[in-house]
Amino acid sequence: MKKNEQYHSHFQTAGILKGIFLILLLGFSIQTFAAPVPKRIITLSGALTETVDALGLGKSIVAVDITSIYPAYVNSLPKVSKNRSVSAEGLISFNPDLVLAPEGSVSKEIAYQLTAAGIKLITIKQEYSAGGAVSFIKAVAAALQVPQKGEVLARQTQARIAKAVATIKRTNKLPKVLFIYARGTGVMLVAGQHTNIDAVITLAGGKNAAQGFDNFKPYTTEALIEANPDVILMFDFGLSSLGGEDAVLKMPGVAGTTAGKNKRIVQMDAGLLTNFSVRLDQAVTRLNKHLQ
């Protein structure tokens, strides 16, 4: 080999080695400066709690809100409050490095206090649709600094939801479903359009019997009779608070509805039915079976 060829070969080798070194150095720098995965997490909704668990960080959850009941071990974790409201002092007392909350659920004052205490607060918006469930999983994974796990879980969840929806037999006459939220006879609400209940009923092959209004409104006998549902849907705790199925069938106006005549009172787990996250396919499938 001639001297100039040897020089050229050595130069190429040196360039390749330098390139490899720079790539390794860049990778090391990214790993060094990337935000660490949180070690102490507080979740302020059932959907957030089960998603964090599904992403493999359940052991890092140190406290949850009152709506978090799944998976089962969550029930043994400390609750940050006895109702849906939280305080900065209560959150800070658990020494978290991350608080995950639904968008709009934490006041600006509490957010400021958490920031001043060096605690990261991330709020996540939830859209009640199949695509929304997938986006929600990715958003939670990003907040936890595990985006790759989020991509995998999102794809798996998306496939399960698509399969569940595809197997639901839709007919021209969809069963009309009226959802009643109850905490005893003193608190009774009906779910209207643009709610998580409205969305899950539609995905499960039904039609929300409550039309003409958004969100929730107080239950009335007149509204029940006008809606004339084929099925009355309730959370399991709501049905229990009214005294069970027989008690609901005896409520004013129920006997005159199609649901009352056929004794079609359906109860489901609140967390499963409304969370719109990793178990949405199960919620849709189970509700559809009740509607058949």
Mean of per-residue pLDDT scores for the chain? 89
Query: What is the distance between the alpha carbons of residues 137 and 276, in angstroms, rounded to a whole number?
Result: 10
Domains of the chain: 41-166 (3.40.50.1980), 170-291 (3.40.50.1980)
Task: Please report, for the chain, how many H helices and E strands are present, in that order.
Answer: 13, 10
pLDDT at site 290: 92
Q: pLDDT tens for residues 115-154?
A: 999 999 999 999 999 999 999 999 999 999 999 999 999 9
Which pLDDT value is given to residue 139?
A: 98
In this prediction, residues 235-240 reach a mean pLDDT of 94
Q: What span, in angstroms and rounded, lies between the C-alpha atoms of 24 and 176?
A: 61
Least confident of 19-23, 89-93, 161-165, 231-235: 19-23
pLDDT surpasses 90 at 34: no
pLDDT at 63 over 60: yes
pTM, full prediction: 0.84
Inform me whether the pLDDT recorded for 278 exceeds 80. Answer: yes
Select, from the ranges 32-41, 78-87, 139-148, 181-190, the one with the highest average predicted confidence (pLDDT).
139-148
Answer yes or no: is pLDDT of 27 > 90.
no
pLDDT value at 24 more than 90: no
Does the structure show a pLDDT above 50 at 99? yes
**What pLDDT does 229 receive?**
96
pLDDT at 57 over 90: yes
Q: Give the mean pLDDT of 67-87.
A: 90
For the record, the structure tokens of 143 come out as: 């907040």
Amino acid identity of 181?
A: Y
Portion of the chain with pLDDT greater than 70, in percent: 87
Helix ranges, the chain (H): 3-33, 46-54, 88-92, 108-116, 130-143, 147-167, 196-203, 221-227, 236-241, 245-249, 258-261, 270-274, 280-291
Report d(CA 212, CA 190) in Å as an integer.
12
Whether the per-residue pLDDT at 45 is higher than 50: the answer is yes
pLDDT at 230 over 50: yes
Structure tokens that stand for 10 in this block: 């050595």
Looking at residue 30, its pLDDT comes to: 44
Count of alpha carbons within 13 Å of 273, Cβ hemisphere only?
20
153-172 pLDDT per residue, tens: 999 999 999 999 988 876 66
The per-residue pLDDT for 23 is 52
- What pLDDT is recorded for position 174? 83
Give the per-residue pLDDT at 81. 79
Q: Which of 274, 278, 270 is nearest to 53 (CA)?
A: 278
Could you count the other beta carbons within 10 Å of the beta carbon of residue 187?
12
